[in-house]
Structures are given as C-alpha cells and as structure tokens.
C-alpha cells in the first residue's frame, strides 16, 4: 500500500486583498500613532528642557557672581524689612 501522492501540487489559494480601512478607521489609526509619537518625544524632550533650565539658572548665578543661598538670604532680608515697615 503506497500512500504517497505523487503528481502536481495543488495550487495554493491566494489570499484576498485586505479590506481597505474606512476614513474613520484611518483617522483613528493616525491619531493613535501620533499620540504614541508625542509620548515618546515627550520622554526625551522634557528631561532635556529641565536640564537646559537648570544649566541656564546656574549660568545666570555664575554670571552675576552669586549663589542661590545668597539670593535667598537677601530676599528674606527684604521681606523682613517690608514687614517692619508696616
């Protein structure tokens, strides 16, 4: 008993073309991709912006030759003088 099937192979049925998305589905897909892209971009940009602000404030203090502690002390002195003036 020979169970081998010799002969031409049966043609593979071709898959039907995927159904085209409706405009609403395309818009929903674009919106989802945009939100994901904005989220990824935010994870990179927010730390860079905060680091830039820190460097800017530090450079400003160095430019004026002072420190944050000195500026805070002077602000507290001004506050105390304003309270005495009342």
For residue 85, the model assigns a pLDDT of: 75
Amino acid 3: pLDDT: 66
Residue 60 has pLDDT above 70, yes or no: yes
83/17: higher pLDDT: 83
Domain limits, the chain: 24-84
For 11, left (φ over 0), alpha (ψ -120 to 50), or beta?
beta
The string of pLDDT tens digits covering residues 9-46 is: 777 777 777 788 899 999 999 999 999 999 999 999 99
Q: Is there a contact between 43 and 36 (Cβ–Cβ < 8 Å)?
A: no
């Amino acid at each position: 008993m020979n169970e081998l099937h010799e002969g031409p192979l049966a043609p593979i049925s071709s898959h039907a073309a995927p159904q085209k998305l409706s405009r609403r589905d395309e818009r929903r897909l674009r919106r989802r991709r945009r939100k994901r892209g904005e989220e990824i971009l935010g994870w990179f940009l927010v730390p860079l912006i905060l680091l830039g602000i820190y460097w800017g404030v530090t450079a400003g203090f160095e430019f004026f030759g002072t420190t944050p502690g000195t500026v805070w002390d002077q602000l507290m002195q001004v506050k105390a003088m304003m309270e005495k003036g009342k």
